[in-house]
Amino acid sequence: MSGFFKSSIGRKVAMALSAFFLMFFLLQHLSINILSVLSPETFNEVSHFMGTNPIVQFALQPVLIFAVVFHFVMGFVLELRNSRARNVSYAKNNGAANSTWMSRNMIWTGLTILAFIGLHFIDFWFPEINTKFIQGDWSGTMQGVDGFRYHEELVHKFAHPARVIAYVVSFIFLGLHLAHGFTSAFQSMGGTAGRKKTLQTIGKAYSIIIPAGFIFIAIYHHFNH
C-alpha cells in the first residue's frame, strides 16, 4: 500500500477518489441546505437527524474530515512534485496556450477553498461541537425559538453582508476549482476514454450549479432574515 501512494499514478488515483467523495458530499450538502429556502421546518428536521444520528456523527463525519484533509494535503504534494516539471515544460512551450487558467491555478483556488472551510467551521461546526460535546445539549433547540434551532442559526449567520460576500467569493473559487477538478478526477481513473466531451459538459454544469446553489442560499437568507 505504501508503494501505491509513492507512485505518481497511485497518488493521482487517491486524489481522484477523495475528489469523488467530496463532490458527492457537496451535492448532498446542497440538497439539505436548499431545504432552508423551500421548507424551514423540513430543514430543521433533517438537520436535527443528521446532527444526532450516531452513524453520521461518529462514522461518516470523521471520514468526511479525513477526506477533506487528505484531498488538500495530497493536492499540495502533487502540485509541489509537478511544479518543477511543469515549469520546464512551460519554458519550452507556451504554458498558457496548452492549459486552462483553472488547471494552472488549482493550488490557489484550493487555498481559497481551504480558507473558506476554516470560516465555515468557525461559523457552524465549532459551535455545534461545543453545544453537543462540551455543553452536552443534543436537543437541537434554542431558548426563544419555536422548534429546532438550525434554520434560525443559518439565517443569523447570513445577516451580515461581509460574511455573505466572503461566502459568494469562496463559492466562485469553488466553481473554478471544480471546473477543472471534475474532469481531471475521471481522467486520473481512466474514465474519459471516448467520453471526454460528455464529462466536460457534465463537469461544467456541476461546477456552475453547485456553487450557484450555495450562493443563492446565502443571498436569499441575507435579504430575508
Question: 96 to each of 103, 171, 187, how far by Cα in Å?
Answer: 10, 24, 20
**Cβ atoms 168, 218 nearer than 8 A:** yes
Confidence of residue 98 (pLDDT cuts 50, 70, 90): low
Phi, psi at 3, each rounded to 5°? -65, -35
**Count of residues in the chain:** 225
Q: 131-177: per-residue pLDDT in tens?
A: 999 999 999 998 878 889 999 999 999 999 999 999 999 999 999 99
Q: Is the pLDDT of residue 4 over 60?
A: no
Nine-digit cell at 161?
453582508
Query: Could you report the per-residue pLDDT of 6-63, keeping only the tens digit for each?
Result: 677 888 889 999 999 999 999 999 999 999 999 999 999 999 999 999 999 999 999 9
The percentage of residues in the chain with a pLDDT greater than 90, rounded to a whole number, is 65
Give the torsion through C-alpha atoms of 117, 119, 124, 126, to 10 deg.
Answer: 90
Reported as a pLDDT band with limits 50, 70 and 90, residue 92 is: low
Provide the CATH number for the domain formed by 2-223 in this structure: 1.20.1300.10
Nearest to 28 by CA among 12, 13, 47, 14: 47
Is the pLDDT at 184 greater than 60, yes or no? yes
Is the overall model pTM greater than 0.85, yes or no? yes
Which residue shows C-alpha cell 437568507? 221
What's the confidence (pLDDT) of residue 131?
95
Identify the burial level of 22 via C-beta atoms within 10 angstroms of its C-beta, where 0-12 means exposed, 13-18 middle and 19 or more buried.
Answer: buried
Domain borders along the chain are 2-223
DSSP-assigned states of every residue in the chain: -HHHHHSHHHHHHHHHHHHHHHHHHHHHHHHHHTHHHH-HHHHHHHHHHHHH-HHIIIIIHHHHHHHHHHHHHHHHHHHHHHHHHHHHHHHHS-HHHHS-HHHHTHHHHHHHHHHHHHHHIIIIIHHHHIIIIIS---S-B-TT-SSBSHHHHHHHHTTSHHHHHHHHHHHHHHHHHHHHHHHHHHHHTT--TTTHHHHHHHHHHHHHHHHHHHHHHHHHHHHT-
Q: In Å, what is the CA distance from 206 to each residue of 26, 104, 178?
A: 10, 20, 8
CA torsion sign, 185 to 186 to 190 to 193? negative
